[in-house]
Structure 1
Amino acid sequence: MSNLTGLNTAAGPNPNKSFEVVQPPTDSVSSLSFSPKGNYLVATSWDNQVRCWEIARTGPTVASMPKASTSHDQPVLCSAWKDDGTTVFSGGCDKQVKMWPLMSGGQPVTVAMHDAPVKEVAWIPEMNLLVTGSWDKTLRYWDTRQSTPVHTQQLPDRCYALTVRHPLMVVGTADRNLIVFNLQNPQTEFKRITSPLKYQTRCVAAFPDQQGFLVGSIEGRVGVHHLDDAQQSKNFTFKFHREGSEIYSVNSLNFHPIHHTFATAGSDGAFNFWDKDSKQRLKAMSRCPQPIPCSTFNNDGSIFAYSVCYDWSKGAENHNPATAKTYIFLHLPQESEVKGKPRIGTSGRK
């Protein structure tokens, strides 16, 4: 362990020379969400807080200014923006989802409840509904003007991950279940798949064209899965976020909003950019000294936000409050890092 500490000190917390967000949370970050309408970044944290910063980009530099914050009674696990960029939804260990009219300066109100912590939340603009996934093994759809869910969908196990690209929604649960929904018929499972990965699902991301999804697991592996049976030959898995015999979790998968390449981030402290169509890694960034539990692109893909902090994967006994500072960094992707490469026959290697 002493070697690792020495390495961390030498590398510093920011080996990629990203821009540091000011006044970060006091505990680990659980989710990051950019407004769909502007450069406002929201972070939820284990310190029970939901924070928002205004991010201002001027040429090659980026500045962050704290805008507002609100709190839950217990750690907050997830966040999502309404499509008009006015409102933030946040859910967590207090078993509720709050709707925060951030841009109008209003107070948060509780709009959804579960019987266990809320792990995932997403706004579905095409349906004008909020969807929430919980460790109580249910998925619930909410009209935010009503106190009871429009529909409760039983899941086979605890909800761990959720992704929506209407009409496609994919839910990852415990026991490696991946449940696919067609939101034009949201009360029926469209397809249930056992994850192509051998270990616990950590994250999912729907393809921008809604034809499939990515799934990431605790074993440093990503599966690329197409829904159409005729496209199954295009399915593959690949492994990374590994260092010798050490295997790290893939914590975050984000598609670039313009180029439709994707980013992965993991507990090894690395983030990478990939092109699934040519099966190539576009860019590998330097490893940070702590895990990256979450990440996200802004609405035009010009800013990639990622948090660097302890992810609790090695338990409380490996948490040292003296050294485990929480960071949120902003990386400005070069086009070469996120623009897909043309396919060259079958020789494209990852």
Structure 2
Amino acid sequence: MSGEPTQNEIALQDCPTDGISAVKFSNSSNQYLLASSWDEYVRVYDVQQDRCKHKFDHTSPVLDACFYNTTHIWSGGADKTVRLFDLHSGADLRAGTHDDAVRCVEYIPDVNQIVTGSWDGNIKLWDPRRPVGAVSTHAQDNKVYTLAVCGERLIVGTANRKILIWDLRNMAYVQQKRDSSLKFQTRAIRAFPDLTGYVLSSIEGRVAVEYLDPSPDVQKKKYAFKCHRTKENGIENIYPVNAIAFHSKYGTFATGGSDGFVNIWDGNNKKRLCQFHKFPSSIASLSFSPDGSMLAIASSFQHEYTLDPNVEPPPDQIFIRHVTDQETRPK
């Protein structure tokens, strides 16, 4: 256990005021972090100066966002629109739309495209150099809940526990279609840094480690495990696992749950490396900095359970933790 908060951890100022949906570090810099939220804003923080440097109004809840580079941010949300913000000029461009809420927004460096996934059951690819209008649209088999970029492949988790694996070099057909190995709704998917597989989580306190190679020998290595569960008075409480983030250098990964805990796992050796102190509320999102020295932790009530009418949920907060090798390096 990494115990109580330490001097290695700060809480950012000027945090979102309602439901943090995502936190993501810039792809190339430890300095900048974005946060999207239900209060209808995308915020960009200068982590080194602990201040909100930019704030863009989306006019509706923002469900996801990503950096294209250090000066351009793409986002999507409940208003069905995909937007592009230019941090230098302050310009706000409406790139296009889906037919329902835009749930996922990611940059794909290997093909220099933005991908969005929507509750309309489609993913769309966008060219950031010509941002108005999607390059292509590809039907999934249900609402898109989560997706992960894996080199030139895309791993999509849909509402009916299906996992679709696409090859971005040939989007004419789905490369693989699988059932999730977890029995309950998929919450998050993230790809291994070595691009050989992915980790997915569910609402039922479980995480699965999967491999892309469909050969029987490789598939024998996949496994699932229980996590983010607590026992009180002999009763086991099971929490959704909302967030996953990989350490780029060590290939270990963090999970965050509605129990308010963050765990670091060594997937290759099937063991937990550490657990941080309990955060004020559910862990909604996690993001390692590009060099792996910091972990952004969004603590935000997710309305997974009903509060007493007289109880206010804890305020939304974003913590920046300077992680150590002892916490993240395989032993």
How high is the TM-score relative to the length of structure 1?
0.87
Check the 8 A contact 2:252/2:330 in 1, yes or no.
yes
Q: Are positions 1:159 and 2:139 aligned together?
A: no
Counterpart of 2:319 in structure 1 is 329
Counterpart of 1:259 in structure 2 is 250
How far the C-alpha of 1:309 sits from its partner, in A, is 1.8
Counterpart of 1:274 in structure 2 is 265
Check the 8 A contact 1:151/1:187 in 2, yes or no.
no
More helix by share: 1
Partners of 2:275 and 2:312 lie apart in 1 by: 29
How far the C-alpha of 1:289 sits from its partner, in A, is 3.4
Counterpart of 2:179 in structure 1 is 194
Counterpart of 1:16 in structure 2 is 5
Partners of 1:149 and 1:334 lie apart in 2 by: 41
Select the residue among 212, 232, 252 that pairs with 2:197. 212
How far the C-alpha of 1:16 sits from its partner, in A, is 2.5
Counterpart residue type for residue 102 of structure 2: V
Instruction: Give the total of aligned pairs.
Output: 319
Q: Are positions 1:100 and 2:85 aligned together?
A: yes
Counterpart of 1:236 in structure 2 is 223
How far the C-alpha of 1:143 sits from its partner, in A, is 2.2
**RMSD of equivalent CA atoms:** 1.7
Counterpart residue type for residue 64 of structure 2: C
Q: Are positions 1:173 and 2:164 aligned together?
A: no
How far the C-alpha of 1:321 sits from its partner, in A, is 7.5
Partners of 1:298 and 1:323 lie apart in 2 by: 28
Check the 8 A contact 1:142/1:149 in 2, yes or no.
yes
Select the residue among 284, 287, 303 that pairs with 1:296. 287
Check the 8 A contact 1:172/1:179 in 2, yes or no.
yes
Select the residue among 111, 115, 138 that pairs with 1:127. 111
Check the 8 A contact 1:169/1:206 in 2, yes or no.
no
Greater Cα offset, 253-262 or 15-24: 15-24
Counterpart of 1:9 in structure 2 is none
Check the 8 A contact 2:280/2:314 in 1, yes or no.
no
How far the C-alpha of 1:149 sits from its partner, in A, is 2.2
State the secondary structure of the residue aligned to 1:330. strand
Check the 8 A contact 1:140/1:150 in 2, yes or no.
yes
Partners of 2:296 and 2:122 lie apart in 1 by: 30
Q: Pick closer, same or farther for the CA change 1:137–1:65 going to 2, 3 Å.
A: same
Select the residue among 47, 52, 62 that pairs with 2:39. 47
How far the C-alpha of 1:313 sits from its partner, in A, is 1.5
How high is the TM-score relative to the length of structure 2?
0.92
State the secondary structure of the residue aligned to 1:160. strand
Partners of 2:240 and 2:190 lie apart in 1 by: 16
State the secondary structure of the residue aligned to 1:189. coil
Check the 8 A contact 1:90/1:121 in 2, yes or no.
yes
Partners of 2:283 and 2:145 lie apart in 1 by: 17
Counterpart residue type for residue 54 of structure 2: A
Partners of 2:310 and 2:157 lie apart in 1 by: 31
Q: Are positions 1:65 and 2:51 aligned together?
A: yes
The within-5 A match list for 1:22-41 is 22-38=13-29, 39-41=31-33
Check the 8 A contact 2:85/2:91 in 1, yes or no.
yes
Counterpart of 1:78 in structure 2 is 64
Q: Are positions 1:137 and 2:121 aligned together?
A: yes
Unaligned runs of 5+ in 2: none
Deviation per CA, 1:64-110, whole angstroms, max 9, x where unpaired? 1220100111100101111x3221111100101111111x1331211
Deviation per CA, 1:269-290, whole angstroms, max 9, x where unpaired? 0001111111111111122231
Counterpart residue type for residue 272 of structure 1: N
Partners of 1:247 and 1:339 lie apart in 2 by: 27
State the secondary structure of the residue aligned to 2:160. helix
How far the C-alpha of 1:128 sits from its partner, in A, is 2.5
Partners of 1:246 and 1:161 lie apart in 2 by: 25
Counterpart residue type for residue 208 of structure 1: P
How far the C-alpha of 1:164 sits from its partner, in A, is 0.2
Deviation per CA, 1:301-326, whole angstroms, max 9, x where unpaired? 111011112111125x6687744311
Deviation per CA, 1:7-52, whole angstroms, max 9, x where unpaired? xxxxxxx943421101111112110011122210110111001111
Q: Pick closer, same or farther for the CA change 1:263–1:202 going to 2, 3 Å.
A: same
